[in-house]
Chain A
Amino acid sequence: MRRVVITGAGTINALGHSVPETLEAMREGRCGIGELDFRDVDRLSIRIGGQVRGFEAEGRFNRQQMSLYDRFTQFTLTAAREAIEQSGIEFTGEEANRSGVVLGTAGGGVSTWDENYRSVYEEGKNRVHPFVVPKLMNNAAAAHVSMEWNLRGPSFTVSTACASSNHAMAQAFAMVRSGMAPAMITGGSESMLCFGGIKAWEGLRVMSKDACRPFSANRNGMVQGEGAGIFVFEEMEHAKARGAEILAEVAGFAMSSDAADIVMPSKQGAARAMAGALRDAGIDRAEVGYINAHGTGTAANDKTECAAVADVFGPHADRLMISSTKSMHGHLIGGTGAVELLACIMALRDGVIAPTIGYEEPDPECALDVVPNVAREAKVEVAMSNAFAFGGMNAVLVLRRV
């Protein structure tokens, strides 16, 4: 089996329009969550979110592209450009034929659905733009990445709600590790911050009206974000041969299914995914210095996740650091694991642990070192990234310092 490394990273989210901007915000413990700004927001009871600000599609994309790119595709292409430029990789010839793109999204072109339903139902129009379907389809973003960078190998989109991008990255990793592809573009994106997107979430009554405070006893729910995180996963010798800078090694992964409840998480399912990822990586649990938690800020997730960490890591659970960066960028749903992988890379590369901000009161059921409110310097050799989705579908990645 081949070793797999990350040679490029790109993002856009509520904390910044690039990886350096995002990492700076994480180091400073800045909050990107604020008042939502879109049509009919006054009809919502949830009015906060981690919205991407100051992003103008005009100027970045031409008129033809604009008619084909939903906001989730725009985010994807913006982040993919940053990642691929950093990597310096070029896809030509036989290598291009074997390289592809696997991305995660839960909703795909949600705002395209929203705008066009509005137009036919509310405004009574009987005609929609000819590109509505290719714009809203879940694989649109992956398709445009493949076209833009000549990726002619296996490309598809994975949709497992809040674990979509971790499942996608796990798949891309497995494809490079097996030798199927020399490199894969992977990650995920989401853009559900529109009237219909938030209205649907309101119904579940798990959203906070004021802040995302993971692991804090006074937490009261999740806050949604939007954006994308995209990476270049590359076979290690391939990266070394072309002199590429290596950001981190992807050491292992595991996926599990709770097979229990459509929304309530299971400790056993989460624990099996974490333990399985360590086994796959051949890494002892005592080597893990940092976990980027799923940490949604809901009672159901946070208690279950902490109990699962305690089960998997035993006494080492009290020595490792675990934080939820959703407190800063919000929950990017299908794109969340990708943006959160940046915090793992920062821990390994820069020795900086992103904090859990908004932390106000200890919760005895979440009695771990959650790096409250302020980033911390620490040398970390191994980092883990958790994603536990509705549907009981879990995917965990393990990264190692290079």
Chain B
Amino acid sequence: MNVQDKVIAIIAEQAVLEPSDVSPGSTLEDLGIDSLGLVESIFAIEEAFDIQVPFNANDPQAGDFDISSVAAIVAGIERLIAEKTA
């Protein structure tokens, strides 16, 4: 499973949807994921990829981690994985 498929699986589970219902262009809002669901998703992503995601629930827009869409989240994770192995 590549990074995108894995992330979609995690987000789909959080949103109680089928992975096929989640597309790279989906936003978390579209999928009905609230702030607590987002914190849980990030935890699951950190566990799955063994990375640290810089994310503060007080200001989800702050920091370098873009959560505006599934594609943006995937790109951010790929960058963190690359930084870890670099």
**A interface, CB within 8 angstroms of B:** 45, 203-206, 208, 219-221, 261-264, 298-300
Assess the B57–A206 pair: CB atoms within 8 A.
yes
B22 contacts partner chain A, Cβ-Cβ < 8 Å: no
Within 8 A of A (CB), among B33-62: 35-36, 39, 42-43, 52, 55-59, 62
Contact indicator B39/A205 (Cβ below 8 Å) = yes
In whole angstroms, what is the CA distance A221 to B57 when docked? Answer: 8
Closest to A261 in B: B36
Task: Report the Cα distance A204→B52, complex, angstroms.
Answer: 14
A81 to chain B, nearest CB (A): 38
Return 24 A-B CB contacts under 8 Å, by A number: A203-B39, A203-B43, A204-B39, A205-B42, A205-B56, A205-B57, A206-B56, A206-B57, A206-B58, A208-B58, A220-B58, A220-B59, A220-B62, A221-B56, A221-B57, A221-B58, A261-B36, A262-B36, A263-B36, A298-B57, A298-B58, A299-B58, A299-B59, A300-B58
The chain A residue sitting closest to B55, CB to CB, is A205
Alpha-carbon distance A300/B35, docked complex (angstroms): 10
Give Cα A299 to B43, complex, Å. Answer: 20
Q: Which residues on B sit within 8 Å (CB–CB) of A299?
A: 58-59
Contacts of B36 in A (CB 8 A): 261-264
Q: How many angstroms between the C-alpha atoms of A203 and B42 in the bound complex?
A: 10
Residues of chain B with a CB closer than 8 A to A45's CB: 52
Give the distance to chain A from B49, nearest Cβ to Cβ, in Å.
17
A262: which B residues are within 8 A, CB to CB?
36
The prevalent SS among residues of A at the interface is loop
A208 to B39, CA, bound (A): 15
Give bound CA distance, A206 to B60, whole Å: 11
Across the A-B interface, how many residue pairs have beta carbons closer than 8 Å? 34
| A300 surroundings in chain B (CB, below 8 A) | 35, 58
Q: How far is the CA of A261 from the CA of B43 in the complex (A)?
A: 20
CA distance A220 to B36 in the complex (A): 17
Compute how far the CA of A67 lies from the CA of B36 in the bound complex, rounded to whole angstroms. 39
CA of A142 to CA of B25 in the docked complex: distance in angstroms? 55
Q: Which residue of B lies closest to A219 (CB)?
A: B58
Q: Residue on B with the closest CB to A209?
A: B56
Give bound CA distance, A208 to B59, whole Å: 11
Q: How long is the Cα–Cα vector from A204 to B43 in the complex, in angstroms?
A: 9
Shortest beta-carbon contacts, A-B, top 7: A205-B57, A299-B58, A221-B58, A206-B57, A298-B58, A220-B58, A205-B39
Q: Is the CB of B35 within 8 A of A220?
A: no
Could you tell me if A264 and B62 are in contact, using CB atoms closer than 8 angstroms? Answer: no
A204 surroundings in chain B (CB, below 8 A):
39, 57
Q: Considering the complex, give the chain B residue whose CB is closest to the CB of A299.
A: B58
In angstroms, Cα B1 to Cα A402, docked, is 70
> Interface centre among B36, B42, B56, by most A CB within 10 Å?
B56
A208–B57 alpha-carbon span in the complex (Å)? 10
Within 8 Å CB of B56, what residues of A?
A: 205-206, 208, 220-221
Q: Is the CB of A264 within 8 A of B58?
A: no
Q: What separation, in Å, do the CA atoms of A208 and B62 have in the docked complex?
A: 13
Shortest Cβ gap from A285 to chain B (Å): 30
Shortest beta-carbon distance, A96 to chain B, in Å? 47
Known: A208-B58, A219-B58. 20 other contacts (CB 8 A): A203-B43, A204-B57, A205-B39, A205-B55, A205-B56, A205-B57, A206-B56, A206-B58, A220-B56, A220-B58, A220-B59, A221-B56, A262-B36, A263-B36, A264-B36, A298-B57, A299-B58, A299-B59, A300-B35, A300-B58
Distance of A186 from chain B, by nearest CB (Å): 32
Quote the shortest CB–CB distance from B73 to chain A (angstroms): 15
Find chain B residues with CB under 8 A from A264 CB: 35-36
CA A205 – CA B55 in complex, angstroms? 7
Q: How far is the CB of A27 from chain B (nearest CB, A)?
A: 29
**Residues of chain B within 8 A of A221, CB atoms compared:** 56-58
Q: How far, in angstroms, from A261 to B36 measured CA to CA in the complex?
A: 10
Q: What B residues does A298 contact at CB under 8 A?
A: 57-58
In the docked arrangement, what's the CA distance between A264 and B39, Å?
A: 13
Residues of chain A within 8 A of B43, CB atoms compared = 203
Closest A residue, CB atoms, query B40: A203
B42 CB contacts on chain A under 8 angstroms? 205
- Roughly how many angstroms separate A221 CA and B56 CA in the complex, as a whole number? 8
In the assembled complex, the Cα of A146 lies from the Cα of B54 at a distance in Å of 47
